[in-house]
Amino acid sequence: MKIIHAKDYADMSRKAANIISAQVILKPDCILGLATGSTPIGAYQQLIKWYEKGDVDFAQVSTYNLDEYRGLLHDDPQSYHFFMRDNFFNHINIDLSRTHVPDGSTTDAAAACAEYDRMVAAAGYPDLQLLGIGNNGHIGFNEPDDHFSAGTHCVDLTESTIEANSRLFDNIDDVPRQAYTMGVQTIMYARMIVIAASGEKKAQAVRDMCFGPVTPSCPASILQLHTNCVVVADEAALSLCPEA
């Protein structure tokens, strides 16, 4: 794993956006795996600025998001379909028909997950997969477990994840208890992985990811086995790492 040090959230966001924009410039019809949550917003804002300046063109890009809450319609303001349009897609020249997010509105979990796996495989998997990391080491919504997950699946969210995500809802009781998420094995098929982390609350997870044993109790630790994984993290997130 290559670790890129950033001063703070803004610096981390610029550095992550630099890597993503380079991928798009080098391969205009690339496939990007994208993430939601507060961590990637700064990178998306930077990419929007560069698009508005004419420095990067998303016209031929295809995207596949990691996850979606189960039970939310696509136009629900708390859905990741809405999040991606509001924070990124509506501000660049991407073809919305080339953007893909798991269908959380489908109640048939097995069918929804199988269809998403089929689409990602047919596309050839991401050239670059952007990830965040949860306080408990989760990637996507792959929570700590006794095994690494394979394909897209329905997951019961842990209380720590529900609590962390409650800041985006009016009430913690409004946070969905389940989500559809791309599996760890599918994530590992990406040709390059960029994982971004910011803040002291992520420090233990980042240390376990980079320097701990490879174990499903910290799903992100499997990224140690990827041949092209870049960690972009700020000083606070790297504060517990021995080489930081």
Residue recorded with tokens 């990178």: 43
Question: Out of 136, 153, 226, 234, which one is annotated catalytic?
Answer: 136
Phi-psi label, residue 191: left if phi above 0, alpha if psi -120 to 50, beta otherwise = alpha
Question: Out of 143, 153, 208, 234, which one is annotated catalytic?
Answer: 143
Question: Out of 65, 67, 142, 234, which one is annotated catalytic?
Answer: 67
Say how far apart CA 125 and CA 68 lie, in whole Å: 18
178: Cβ–Cβ under 8 A, 6 or more apart, which residues? Answer: 69, 70, 71, 154, 155, 156, 157
Pairing of strands 193-197, 99-100: unpaired
Question: Out of 81, 100, 138, 153, which one is annotated catalytic?
Answer: 138
- Tell me if residue 235 is catalytic: no
- Within 13 Å, how many C-alpha atoms sit on residue 1's CB side? 25
- Tell me if residue 143 is catalytic: yes
Phi-psi label, residue 96: left if phi above 0, alpha if psi -120 to 50, beta otherwise = alpha
H helix intervals, 166-202:
184-188
Residues assigned a catalytic role: 67, 136, 138, 143
